[in-house]
Structure 1
Amino acid sequence: MSTESAAAEVAEPEAPEAAAEPEAEAAPEAEATPEDAAAPGEDAGADASGTDDGPEAAADARGTAEGGAGGEPSEAEAELAAQRELRQRIEERKAARTAPVDAGTKLQGTAADLLAAVRAVESGEKPVASAFREPEPVAPRRPAPEPVRRQAPEAPAAPAEPAREAVAAVAAVLGEGGAPAALAAKAAAALGEGADGQLRDDPWQLLRVPGVRPEQADGFARALLGDACGPGDERRGRALTVWLLEQAALAGHTALDAAALTAALGQRAVPDPDEAVQSALAEGDVLVFQDALDDAPQGAPAAASAAAPADGESESDEEAAPPVRVLFGLERYALAEESLADGLARVINSLPKDEGSGPGAEAWESAASSASGSTAELIRAVAAHGLVLHTGGEAARAEPAALVAAARSLGLRVCAAAHTADGQRRLAESARGEGDAEETTAVTVAGLLSGRQGPGRDADGALALDLLVVLDAPQLDVEAAAMLVESLPDGARLVLSGDPGVLWSAGPGRVFADVLAARACPQVVSRTPDPGPVGELVSGIGVGELTEVAAPNKEVVIVPVHDAADAIRRTVQLVADSVPRAIGVPSEHTQVITPGHGGAAGTRALNAALKERLNPGPGRFGGFDPGDRVAHAAVPGRTALGRVVRADAEGLHLECDGVPVVVAKERVEQSVRHAWAVTAHQAAGRRWPAAVVVLPGDAAAALTRPWVYAAFSRAERHLSVVQGVAQALPQAVAERPAKERTTRLRTLLRPQLPEAG
């Protein structure tokens, strides 16, 4: 890696005038604070990678999607409609379960037994193995049923706005409790019909409104109920249980360990956390799971416990019992993970075995023999299996593109989906390089699910294809992955391809990592390295080494800084002057990446300074002017980058990824940010000719190996690192792997999927 002397050649002494101090943000954004948005045991306001994208997805992207040009439903609207369709199918599958939790009744059956067992273990009355032993052998998991398929709606409608009367009624209740009337529309939308009555009966339901914190809900409850409420109120404990699980989902978890959840409730002054969880279970707000720990050491007891075996039980019985963990989760993510596991099993098991249903072995082998290396391995694996995993860096994207071309030459209906429009463009270029010029070959995941891109759906509602290749697979959260798998017809093949070193999805889950860890299908590892000094640097980071690389043409430059003000000044200089002049990359093709939105050198401060230098203006429309680079989050976890075109009475007109978007005036503050500087999660799936990664001193604790890997690998030709964290950077690369997420997919997959060949 180039040293400071090399940096001096690119970052020349700045002009005598210093960069102006960042202005106060014109459009303040709702963002959770560390104590307000933390999942139990993690930094609040940060997702599992240490960025601020989790709260951004919740605060900026909730609500209705804005329509595109021509009055047609936007991609965001179509995606929301597709999500509603999936939820309806999942609800039907849930209704078919043999032991539902009856809402509104006291806890009973298995759930009550599990909670009683948890308390028995914690009190030392019973060892863990005996407490969770089933009285009868557990029946094997039933085969995955064929999902109910429906025709995709031709014109999905946007979610209905709450009626004015309902909003007014909610505003009246909020006023009585001292809450701002501005929350009325959100509360009416979140609580649905009779929202005002729900708030009167249970003021802590206010926690279901995005951005509301527990202390605010407590104050609202005291104003409405007076002395009739307190920390031990059953309604408070139940609402906090759900709120904590929702905050955990923002940090990437799909469930929480029993001990973590009860500990977090205790930190929120809930006097009896177990009772609070039991109440939430009884009302059906939360689900409980007992999952086997398949990775426990052989011969180890179910859990660490000093209690002696119960009467009539021997120590050998205790050691023989399989270890388990008790998890609590929200129904939404629990059902999505179970639906995904069932769907992946169906993909593997429904691959046609007869020769007359598709290309024969000879045709596949002929296609593989015309390729070489890991590309040939990938083609052979897809020929024999329904589900295949492919791993590799940016250069390895050519291998799935070659697979798509080969499969299309065999007469198969093929589609390949990327995470972003930029990924779609690069995928299309690779496909054309392999001789595949079909327009429907390369799409985005959101476009495919909404029906606006791709081959469309058949009469049963399934995607009309034989092979689906998904690139940027680490960016799939559990709900998007479940929708994709549910949409595949029987007999279709699925390839998940991605770089395992990058950040996990902005939404809940770690789908790609869990499927890789389950080792239930073939895995093809690319042997195509990323070229150049940037590729060499990123490859070293992937194995935990931050090495110095030769950069004769200033491909990699380190710019040391002393404090945040110095970091902002040098960043503006690099983007506006040094990189365009020394490297030949204009400012509009240079992207700044930093760990979070807040802080002295976060995206807010950097964007204010960059706007003043690159596109100064009064910011007449919510702080924005024509020509501003912006990030638009219409739905949670989905951020589109673009530019401001103009503003009028209709709203703020943007061009995002080549598509015109109109953002209503009342939605601008919540869903649009400046984007000269973005976080690594916002940059995921995209690349720029040049990238400037800013690491101010206050970001040291947030750095992890996946964050550094993802941020550095966004650069194609040139990478500048504005470095103020000293030794914290190599330490993060060497010692801080990805923050763990609590998920169930790996456990759900193992009983269903056969051993990999």
Structure 2
Amino acid sequence: MSTDPETTETDPPPRKPEDRTEAGTGRTEGESAPGGEDRDAGPATPSGGDAAAPELSEAEAELAAQRVERERIERRKAQKTGPIEAGAKLGGKAADLLAAVRAVESGEKPVSSAFREPAPAPRRPAPEPERRTRPLAPQEAAAVPGTELVATVRALLAEAGAPDTLAPQVAAVLGEGADTHLRADPWQLLRITGVRPEQADGFARALLGPECRPDDERRARAVTVWLLEQAALAGHTALEVPVLEAALAQRSVPDPDAAVQSSIAEGEVLVFQDALETSGPGSAPVEGAAGASEDENRPVRVLIGLERYALAEESLADGLARLINSVPKENGAADDWAQAARSAAGAAGELIRAVADHGLVLHTGGEASRIEPATLLQAARGLGVRAWAATHSPAGRDMFAALPARPDLPDAAATTHPPLATVAGLLSGTEGPGRDADGALDLDLLIVLDAPQLDVETAALLTESLPDGARLVLSGDPGVLWSAGPGRVFADLLAARVCPQIVSRTPDPGPIGELVSSIGIGELPQVDAPGKEVVIVPVRDAPEAVHRTVQLVVDSVPRAIGVPSQETQVITPGHGGAAGTRALNAALKERLNPGPGRFGGFDTGDRIAYSPAPGRTLPGHVVKADAEGLHLECSGASVVVPKERVEQSVRHGWALTAHQAVGQRWPAVVVVLPGDAAQALSRPWVYTAFGRAGRHLSVVHGVEQALPRAVAEIPAKPRTTRLPLLLRGQLPATG
């Protein structure tokens, strides 16, 4: 590593950092959801508009496809031949919670001791209660609310002193009679993205007057659901009861026990009792191996979760078990697969051999290891297999397509339509092979790159979309940041060990590859960078960090490295603060594309980051603006963002957060680490940010020892999920 020798004039003292608010989450970047993980997030897309468009946009097409798939998932689950045994031979608090659920199913209130006193005897096992159809999430609302309904809701919001700009979203989420629902239960306002409990409390006081009390059951239930939604934003699919109750107490809920109990009684949340392993890590409980008394005393983990994520995790476990247990289709003779494996070197051959015999295979490795799934794709196509690959982003798809082909393998995919797609495009039907008569994807093998970015709902849709006998390969780097949505699917599957795992031995090349590989094992060494592949630029404060970043992007990197400004990406921990994305983008725009921002803050030629849906970021630039909206070009595709959605879904893109940058790479990257970012650093964040660089990495370093400490001591924050246990209940571990 080398240190930049240039010096600058002394800058004024740093400004007070502004709140780092994550778009679409309603919380600041420094605030975690209960027990959760702070994450960067792209701008969220509003749930509705004022008028129906004649043609579906990419986001609307994706959401429509997801609705169809969820209906298919629910039908599939309803066709199961028998009930699912849950809670068998449990005692104590877990059995009481299960009794509460069954009481709710029969129309009764749960017993008051369900969360307080141990039961005198264990409950008998019974089928899992039948669940209601999950309501659509805000972004899934199918119909645009009528103008009359919006006007009525706007009047109610104004009456209570709430922002009337929330009216379209309230009407879309609560549906017909939204004003009546709000008058009956003002805390339903918490179902709107970005609304916080204190804001809903003020709305309730304005409507209810003296009848508004902190111990109101309606408030307790609404805050319980809100906390679980915030936990989902932090990656959890459920929360343990003590964690949830502690969070409720922090939100001034007088009786957290009663709040959770009431939420279960009204069907707002679900309760789960997961038996914990007692025979060591990685081993599943052995059925019938112990007496009844030992089973009754087995420790359990009591979880509370929302139905949508519970349904997704169960559907994902079912779909994965179906793929693992089904015999792969006879695509090519066994000798042909063996010959293809022998002709591929190293881990690529192992990958082909594993895919030949198994329905699910995991593949791990860094950026250079992508050549191995590329070899698999080419070999499978050469055998006549209908194989496709899907990536997290269009940029990742283009990089994968540019990998060198093997001349010794026939490529049946050398057509005008290469077998590559994005995950979102595959699910929405705008990319990929399309679907067969049964609604399944019309393919035999699906290779999913960037697998750590799969949240539990997207992964469930993918697995349920695959036909029986299809093969699924999940490939990715386990060291990068996890998905923006709830769950940790790839990490859970790696830990469950229910299928073959192929570990790549292809190292990332050069000084940057050496540095990133060392970070992955918790070390931050000095690497030899004779060509200035890695440069450290020390700074004293945030204003100096902004100044030096602009200097690097505009002058130093183009002049010394030969990478132009438009191919250099800035990455920083947060959106707010004196050196966050907002401040850096403003400074970079002033130098690279100055203008008045006459198109809602944007000018023609501005570099942007477009988020068609939460958790997805597409880099691009502004082409023009007219009555239709803001015209963008993103990875070669034309996108029109309606005027009313620009503020929520488009940001300037010279500077991004690491979560926005994951799944993409640039020739040069400038990572900015101002002093106020020390608390946001972790090993996965540093690994992801540094790993986005191809030829050159500059680190604007103002966190002193916080950087090596984060790499050595701060792993990914844990996420509470149920997928490993669900898989262990259906599949044996492979060791």
Q: Same fold (TM over 0.5)?
A: yes
Residue type at the aligned position of 1:335: L
Indicate yes or no: 2:324 matched with 1:348: yes
The CA deviation at 1:530 is 0.2
Indicate yes or no: 2:515 matched with 1:537: yes
Identify the residue that residue 116 of structure 2 maps to in structure 1: 119
CA deviations 1:7-32 (Å, max 9, x no partner) are: 12xxx34699999999999x996663
2:40–2:660 CA contact under 8 A, matched in 1: no
Aligned equivalents of 1:118, 1:654: Cα separation in 2? 54
Identify the residue that residue 151 of structure 1 maps to in structure 2: none
Aligned length: 699
Equivalent residue runs for 1:566-605 within 5 Å:
566-605=544-583
Structure 2 CA distance for partners of 1:684 and 1:433, relative to 1, 3 Å? farther
Residue type at the aligned position of 2:32: A
Structure 2 CA distance for partners of 1:575 and 1:35, relative to 1, 3 Å? closer
Indicate yes or no: 2:315 matched with 1:326: no
Indicate yes or no: 2:235 matched with 1:252: yes
Identical-residue share of aligned pairs (%): 65
The CA deviation at 1:370 is 0.6
Identify the residue that residue 382 of structure 1 maps to in structure 2: 355
Residue type at the aligned position of 2:47: G
Equivalent residue runs for 1:309-324 within 5 Å:
317=293, 321-324=297-300
Residue type at the aligned position of 2:300: V
Identify the residue that residue 213 of structure 2 maps to in structure 1: 230
The CA deviation at 1:505 is 0.4
CA deviations 1:94-138 (Å, max 9, x no partner) are: 656859999999735799889845422xxxx57xxx88x5535x8
Gaps of 5+ in 2: 87-97, 129-139
Indicate yes or no: 2:598 matched with 1:610: no
Aligned equivalents of 2:360, 2:226: Cα separation in 1? 36
Aligned equivalents of 1:416, 1:115: Cα separation in 2? 53
Identify the residue that residue 310 of structure 1 maps to in structure 2: none
Aligned equivalents of 2:239, 2:555: Cα separation in 1? 48
Identify the residue that residue 26 of structure 2 maps to in structure 1: 32
Aligned to 1:445, which of 423, 436, 449?
423
1:705–1:733 CA contact under 8 A, matched in 2: yes
Aligned to 2:526, which of 524, 548, 571?
548
Identify the residue that residue 137 of structure 2 maps to in structure 1: none
Equivalent residue runs for 1:387-406 within 5 Å:
387-406=360-379
Residue type at the aligned position of 1:346: R
Q: What is the DSSP-based 3-state SS (H/G/I as helix, E as strand, rest coil) of the residue aligned with 2:704?
A: coil
Equivalent residue runs for 1:506-521 within 5 Å:
506-521=484-499
1:368–1:380 CA contact under 8 A, matched in 2: yes
The CA deviation at 1:89 is 2.4
Structure 2 CA distance for partners of 1:489 and 1:31, relative to 1, 3 Å? closer
Aligned equivalents of 1:279, 1:95: Cα separation in 2? 27
Residue type at the aligned position of 1:589: E
2:47–2:141 CA contact under 8 A, matched in 1: no
Aligned to 2:257, which of 266, 274, 292?
274
1:626–1:646 CA contact under 8 A, matched in 2: yes
1:103–1:283 CA contact under 8 A, matched in 2: no
CA deviations 1:693-748 (Å, max 9, x no partner) are: 00111111110100000000000000000011100000000001100111111111
Structure 2 CA distance for partners of 1:338 and 1:601, relative to 1, 3 Å? same
Aligned equivalents of 2:108, 2:365: Cα separation in 1? 43
Q: What is the DSSP-based 3-state SS (H/G/I as helix, E as strand, rest coil) of the residue aligned with 1:496?
A: strand
Identify the residue that residue 89 of structure 2 maps to in structure 1: none
The CA deviation at 1:321 is 3.2
Indicate yes or no: 2:157 matched with 1:174: yes
Structure 2 CA distance for partners of 1:35 and 1:481, relative to 1, 3 Å? closer
Identify the residue that residue 35 of structure 2 maps to in structure 1: 41
Equivalent residue runs for 1:678-757 within 5 Å:
678-756=656-734
Identify the residue that residue 605 of structure 2 maps to in structure 1: 627
Structure 2 CA distance for partners of 1:234 and 1:657, relative to 1, 3 Å? same
1:389–1:496 CA contact under 8 A, matched in 2: yes
Identify the residue that residue 40 of structure 2 maps to in structure 1: 52
The CA deviation at 1:37 is 6.2
Structure 2 CA distance for partners of 1:674 and 1:165, relative to 1, 3 Å? same
Structure 2 CA distance for partners of 1:204 and 1:93, relative to 1, 3 Å? farther
Q: What is the DSSP-based 3-state SS (H/G/I as helix, E as strand, rest coil) of the residue aligned with 1:634?
A: coil
Q: Which moved more, 1:726-735 or 1:628-637?
A: 628-637
Equivalent residue runs for 1:156-305 within 5 Å:
159-294=142-277, 297=280
Residue type at the aligned position of 1:185: P
The CA deviation at 1:488 is 0.5
Aligned equivalents of 1:417, 1:202: Cα separation in 2? 44
Identify the residue that residue 107 of structure 1 maps to in structure 2: 104
Aligned to 2:538, which of 538, 560, 563?
560
TM-score with structure 2 setting the length: 0.89
Aligned equivalents of 1:88, 1:335: Cα separation in 2? 12
Identify the residue that residue 91 of structure 2 maps to in structure 1: none
Aligned to 1:61, which of 45, 48, 51?
45
Aligned equivalents of 1:67, 1:569: Cα separation in 2? 44
1:705–1:738 CA contact under 8 A, matched in 2: yes
Q: Which moved more, 1:344-353 or 1:203-212?
A: 344-353
2:24–2:193 CA contact under 8 A, matched in 1: no
CA deviations 1:619-660 (Å, max 9, x no partner) are: 011110011111111212111111001111221111112111
Structure 2 CA distance for partners of 1:29 and 1:682, relative to 1, 3 Å? closer
Identify the residue that residue 397 of structure 2 maps to in structure 1: 424
The CA deviation at 1:576 is 0.4
Aligned equivalents of 2:505, 2:244: Cα separation in 1? 43
2:572–2:657 CA contact under 8 A, matched in 1: yes
CA deviations 1:300-358 (Å, max 9, x no partner) are: 9x9xxxxxxxxxxx9994698332111111111110110000000011111248xxx33
Aligned equivalents of 2:479, 2:195: Cα separation in 1? 34
Identify the residue that residue 153 of structure 1 maps to in structure 2: none
2:49–2:168 CA contact under 8 A, matched in 1: no
CA deviations 1:157-214 (Å, max 9, x no partner) are: 9943210000011112112211111111111011111111100000000001111111
Structure 2 CA distance for partners of 1:756 and 1:103, relative to 1, 3 Å? closer
Aligned to 1:524, which of 502, 527, 534?
502
Residue type at the aligned position of 1:322: R
Residue type at the aligned position of 2:315: S
Indicate yes or no: 2:628 matched with 1:639: no
Aligned equivalents of 1:633, 1:201: Cα separation in 2? 35
Aligned equivalents of 2:299, 2:158: Cα separation in 1? 51
Residue type at the aligned position of 2:426: L
Identify the residue that residue 307 of structure 1 maps to in structure 2: none
Gaps of 5+ in 1: 43-47, 142-156, 303-313
1:693–1:721 CA contact under 8 A, matched in 2: yes
Aligned equivalents of 1:71, 1:19: Cα separation in 2? 53
Aligned equivalents of 2:146, 2:156: Cα separation in 1? 16
The CA deviation at 1:375 is 0.8
RMSD of the TM alignment (CA)?
3.4
Q: What is the DSSP-based 3-state SS (H/G/I as helix, E as strand, rest coil) of the residue aligned with 1:635?
A: coil
Structure 2 CA distance for partners of 1:284 and 1:319, relative to 1, 3 Å? closer
1:396–1:529 CA contact under 8 A, matched in 2: yes
Aligned equivalents of 1:192, 1:295: Cα separation in 2? 48
2:274–2:725 CA contact under 8 A, matched in 1: yes
Q: What is the DSSP-based 3-state SS (H/G/I as helix, E as strand, rest coil) of the residue aligned with 2:569?
A: strand
TM-score with structure 1 setting the length: 0.86
Structure 2 CA distance for partners of 1:36 and 1:523, relative to 1, 3 Å? closer
Aligned equivalents of 1:620, 1:329: Cα separation in 2? 45
Identify the residue that residue 441 of structure 2 maps to in structure 1: 463
Identify the residue that residue 332 of structure 2 maps to in structure 1: 359
The CA deviation at 1:280 is 1.4
